[in-house]
Amino acid sequence: MNTPPILEEIQVINAYDDKSFIKEEHSHRLWPDDPTRALVLPAENDRVTNFEPFHVKTRNFHINTLPPTPLQLFHLFLPISLVEEWVSYTKIWISWLKRNEVIDSWTSPMGKTSRLRHWEGTTTSEVLRPEHSIFKFMPYWKFQLIHRHLRPFDPSKIDETAPLPEVFQAAEKWSDLLQAVSLSLFLPGSHLAVDEGMVRYTGKSNETTVIKGKPTPLGFKI
């Protein structure tokens, strides 16, 4: 099945602005176990004498013509060409790990019997999650390795010295695609609401957060 190619030129919704980030030196945590921070800036002494409200013209949302099948709609957000790039990045990453004998897991170093040494690469069909059992295509240990080492970005292009955090660099290309496709399909109306949420994640990461009052208490806060 042919899928639309990745958009070559994607207009980023918001240009990156380092000044827009809330930094530790001028903010504080709202709660001890929550990474959400609030600004702590000195109050303005100036008074205003004229206030002009910003009027939002009432408009209904609009949904453009969607693809005829759910699969074609899914491929707009995750085209085969993008998955093939992920396969290539993952192979490059695994080759680098094997060549440099980097640790095989979070706790144990790579040894002669490490399963990572037997890595033979992956394919597009293995990266796309099937609706049926994964065991029809590969053993469980290989599925675990793909889950652990999958790289949806080019590891060689992550700049540790750049002002944009590494996690945003890794997700930037796919994030821009998701935004561009979403805007091409859906035009929001004037009634909007923005809320935070938790994305469940139980693996090893320095970015995970625990908020006991949430339906999903452990994961990434977005």
Mean pLDDT confidence for 149-159: 84
Collapsed DSSP state (helix, strand, coil) of residue 34: strand
> Mean pLDDT, the chain, as a whole number?
75
With beta carbons less than 8 A apart as the criterion, state whether 216 and 200 touch. yes
What pTM was estimated for this model as a whole? 0.55
Among residues 156, 142, 186, which one has the least CA distance to residue 85?
A: 156
Domain assignments of the chain as residue spans, ordered by start: 60-102+133-191, 196-221
Mean pLDDT confidence for 87-113: 68
pLDDT class of 147 with cuts at 50, 70, 90: confident
Top-confidence residue, 144 or 177: 177
Mean pLDDT confidence for 21-40: 69
First to last CA, the chain: 34
Mean pLDDT confidence for 153-159: 85
Asked whether residue 60 carries a pLDDT value surpassing 90, the answer given is yes
59: tokens are 């408009």
Backbone angles phi, psi at 76, to 5 degrees: -65, -40
- How many CB atoms sit inside 10 A of residue 211's CB? 18
Asked whether residue 18 carries a pLDDT value surpassing 70, the answer given is no
In the chain, what's the furthest Cα-to-Cα distance? 75
